[in-house]
Amino acid sequence: MKYKLVEIFESLQGEGRNTGRPCVFVRFAGCNLACPWCDTDVGERFSMTLEELLNEIATYKAKTVVLTGGEPTLLDGAPELVAALKKLGYYIAVETNATVDADWLQFVDYVACSPKAEFPEKIALKKANEVRVVASNDSVIEFCKKVKDLIEADDYYVSPCDHDGEIDFATAKSVLNQLEGWSLSVQLHKILGFR
Ligand code: SF4
């Protein structure tokens, strides 16, 4: 079995509770949603066996691995990968769109989810460490309330929408002012210009 991949790179986590943490980002190919504004390339560029993937991750300094996508909960071979990374002492974080409540998520260290307001009926995840919702407009308020009922999390974040490089902080602030228990998460990598 080979893992279908888009890219592997080392950087700092740019958003949420782990902002600033050095991480190896492993972006897997494929997604089960088609968000109209998606700017993530989810097409397969290369594939690796488990051993090849672990060897590649070991070439980086960071000891946190972020499994992202696309949608990593769709991944064949996820339990084997998580078990192997755990054995090697990595801190494992997952970034998911909240549409799959995969059993193996209970074995990772951190689950960050970004449910999409365009697909409220697709939310299946019940528990995460953090939830992030993009404040595309004021109507996202009702979605945030629904998300909070559906997904138990330690932190709930609203992220400003990025309109072709223009960060819409005003809408995020307006949304936050109408919610309880939510706070702001900026995409620091976009503001500071790192990857
Ligand atoms: S869930 Fe993420 S990767 Fe998938 S289509 Fe939406 S924005 Fe793109």
Average pLDDT of the residues of the chain: 95
Rounded to whole angstroms, the Cα distance separating 78 from 188 reads: 28
Cβ–ligand 1 distance for 41 under 6 Å, the answer: no
pTM, entire model? 0.95
Name the residue range of residue 174's domain: 3-192
Count other Cβ atoms within 10 Å, centred on residue 177.
Answer: 9
Task: List pLDDT tens digits, range 45-85.
Answer: 999 999 999 999 999 999 999 999 999 999 999 999 999 99
| pLDDT value for 73 | 97
Query: Where on the phi/psi map is residue 10: left (φ > 0), alpha (ψ -120 to 50), or beta?
Result: beta
Q: Does residue 100's CB lie within 6 angstroms of at least one atom of ligand 1? A: no
User: What's the total number of domains in the chain?
Assistant: 1
Residue 91: burial class (beta carbons within 10 Å; 0-12, 13-18, 19+): middle
Quote the tokens at residue 62: 């960071």
Q: Which of 27, 33, 66, 122 to mutate to test the pocket of ligand 1 (most atoms within 8 A of CB)?
A: 33
- Asked whether the CA dihedral 147, 113, 174, 143 is positive or negative, the reply is negative
Which residue is closest in CA terms to ligand 1's atom 6? 35
CATH classification at residue 124: 3.20.20.70
Cβ(39) – ligand 1 distance below 6 Å: no
Is the model's pLDDT at 190 over the cut of 90? no
- Between 165 and 87, the higher pLDDT residue: 87
Percent of the chain with pLDDT over 90: 86
Is the pLDDT score of 184 beyond 90? Answer: yes
pLDDT recorded at residue 104 = 97
| Residue 36 confidence (pLDDT) above 90 | no
